[in-house]
């Protein structure tokens, strides 16, 4: 592979940039026109062997997911994505055609979510393949993790547990039916960042927001710590994906564990005063994605869950890069 021919071939896969991009790839840096409001910046890396294996994701879906997870962080700020840079550390085991497939997935996510790749870097590595994406977005009223107050309602968008159960399926741990397996694999490979609901949350006056990358337990603990509140959730209110319950029965695991500790669902979890929550629910009708109340914020600290047996402490023990393996 020639570095410069590779870059040209990859750029051909991308859609035309947004109108606010003055100079995209091709010069020393990109040039963009700043929007009104505030800018939000995020970056995340996906590493072969840690975030994916050849058996757990296609090249196309890896491109899609690597942008989707960064968009999810912008959504969790109540913002919308604008411009991305993409860094590839390519190991010798990868061929140009596989990188082109990855770029097709990236291009699909750019078109679907309205953002542009404006630059990047390609380097060789003796180590595992790595894709790292930096993303700039805009937010008129950024929603922090620290704004939750006692009395606020805790809520989560969409469905939980699908990604971790999907990873089980993709690693050969079978679940009930082929239809269930396909649905769970899709959750793992193609998460949908909740941009519309994040914007609706900002307009509604939601007080705190986070996205579910490491697991609901971890994200709620981050809100509790940043806001100085106690999060009290109810086990029987968690919106666990029905296919996860089916898979969990076959796997002999608890469906609630997938929801609390599995991670990579890229749903939004937040807190809102009653009136703001009512406004969010009304707006959510537009998006065909449920918004579910899962508990309340109280005075105190930490996260607890009401179960049939009483209150259980929910530790911050989701995915952790330095303790999970």
Ligand X SMILES: Nc1ncnc2c1ncn2[C@@H]1O[C@H](COP(=O)(O)OP(=O)(O)OP(=O)(O)O)[C@@H](O)[C@H]1O
Q: Which of residues 145-174 bind ligand TPS (CB under 6 A)?
A: 167
101 binds, among Mg ion, ligand TPS, ligand X, none (CB under 5 to 8 A by kind): none
Q: How far is the CB of 45 from ligand X (least distance, A)?
A: 9
How far is residue 273's CA from residue 148's CA, in Å, rounded to a whole number? 9
Q: How far is the CB of 258 from ligand X (least distance, A)?
A: 17
- Alpha helices by DSSP H, listed for the chain, are 3-11, 59-75, 96-113, 162-170, 178-189, 195-204, 216-227, 242-251, 255-257, 274-284
Which string of x and - marks every residue 248-277 that binds ligand X (by CB under 6 A)? ------------------------------
| Residue 290 structure tokens | 């449920």
Please say which residue, 76 or 167, places its beta carbon nearer to ligand TPS: 167
**Residues near 178 by Cβ (< 8 Å), separated by ≥ 6?**
none
51 labelled as ligand-binding? yes
28 labelled as ligand-binding? yes
145 labelled as ligand-binding? yes
Cα pseudo-dihedral 73, 78, 82, 84, rounded to 10: -10
Please say which residue, 99 or 133, places its beta carbon nearer to ligand X: 133
Q: Which of residues 198-227 bind ligand TPS (CB under 6 A)?
A: 213-214
Q: Which of 48, 101, 214, 267 binds ligand X (CB under 6 A)?
A: 214
Contact of 235 with 294, CB cutoff 8 Å:
no
How far is residue 158's CA from residue 15's CA, in Å, rounded to a whole number? 29
Q: Helices (H) and strands (E) in the chain — how many of each?
A: 10, 13
Contact call for residue 264 and ligand TPS (CB under 6 A)? yes
Q: Which of 181, 189, 207, 213 binds ligand X (CB under 6 A)?
A: 213
Contact of 177 with 185, CB cutoff 8 Å:
no
User: Among the candidate windows 46-54, 60-68, 112-120, 280-288, which touches ligand TPS by CB under 6 A?
Assistant: 46-54
Please say which residue, 216 or 248, places its beta carbon nearer to ligand X: 216
Phi, psi for residue 6 in degrees, rounded to 5: -60, -50
Contact of 106 with 139, CB cutoff 8 Å:
no
Half-sphere exposure of 225 (CA within 13 A, CB side): 9
Please say which residue, 214 or 243, places its beta carbon nearer to ligand X: 214
Contact of 72 with 191, CB cutoff 8 Å:
yes
Please say which residue, 67 or 167, places its beta carbon nearer to ligand TPS: 167
141 labelled as ligand-binding? no
Q: Which of residues 34-53 bind ligand X (CB under 6 A)?
A: 44
Please say which residue, 44 or 104, places its beta carbon nearer to ligand X: 44
Q: How far is the CB of 2 from Mg ion (least distance, A)?
A: 33
| Angle, CA 5 vertex, CA 4 and CA 11 arms, to 5° | 90
Q: Exposure string (b/e) for 237-254, b if CB count within 10 Å is 16 or more?
A: ebbbbebbbbbbeebebe
Q: How far is the CB of 53 from ligand TPS (least distance, A)?
A: 5
265 labelled as ligand-binding? no
Annotated binding site for ATP: 103, 120-121, 145, 213
Q: Give the residues lining the site for ligand TPS (CB under 6 A).
A: 44, 50-53, 56, 167, 213-214, 263-264, 319
Q: Give the residues lining the site for ligand X (CB under 6 A).
A: 44, 73, 213-214
């Amino acid at each position: 592979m020639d570095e410069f021919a590779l870059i040209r071939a990859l750029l051909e896969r991308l859609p035309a940039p947004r109108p606010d991009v003055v100079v995209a790839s091709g010069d020393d840096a990109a040039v963009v026109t700043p929007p009104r409001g505030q800018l939000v910046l995020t970056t995340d890396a996906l590493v072969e062997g840690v975030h994916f294996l050849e058996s757990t994701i296609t090249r196309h879906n890896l491109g899609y997911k690597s942008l989707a997870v960064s968009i999810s962080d912008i959504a969790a700020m109540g913002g919308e994505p604008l411009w991305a840079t993409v860094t590839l550390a390519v190991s010798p085991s990868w061929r140009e055609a596989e990188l082109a497939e990855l770029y097709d997935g990236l291009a699909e996510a750019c078109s679907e979510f309205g953002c542009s790749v404006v630059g990047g870097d390609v380097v060789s590595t003796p180590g595992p393949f790595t894709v790292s994406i930096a993303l700039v977005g805009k937010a008129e009223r950024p929603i922090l993790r620290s704004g939750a107050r006692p009395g606020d309602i805790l809520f989560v968008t969409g469905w939980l547990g699908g990604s971790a159960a999907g990873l089980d399926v993709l690693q050969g741990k079978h679940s009930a039916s082929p239809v269930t397996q396909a649905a769970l694999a899709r959750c793992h490979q193609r998460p949908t960042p909740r941009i519309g609901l994040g914007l609706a949350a900002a307009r509604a006056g939601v007080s705190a927001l986070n996205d579910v990358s490491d697991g609901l337990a971890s994200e709620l603990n981050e809100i509790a710590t940043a806001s100085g509140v106690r999060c009290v959730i109810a086990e029987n209110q968690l919106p666990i994906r029905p296919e996860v319950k089916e898979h969990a029965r076959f796997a002999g695991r608890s469906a609630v564990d997938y929801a609390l500790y599995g991670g990579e669902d890229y749903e939004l979890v937040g807190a809102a005063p009653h009136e703001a929550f009512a406004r969010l629910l009304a707006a959510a009708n537009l998006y065909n994605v449920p918004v579910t109340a899962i508990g309340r914020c109280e005075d105190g600290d930490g996260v607890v869950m009401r179960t049939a047996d009483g209150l259980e402490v929910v530790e911050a023990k989701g995915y952790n890069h330095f303790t999970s393996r």
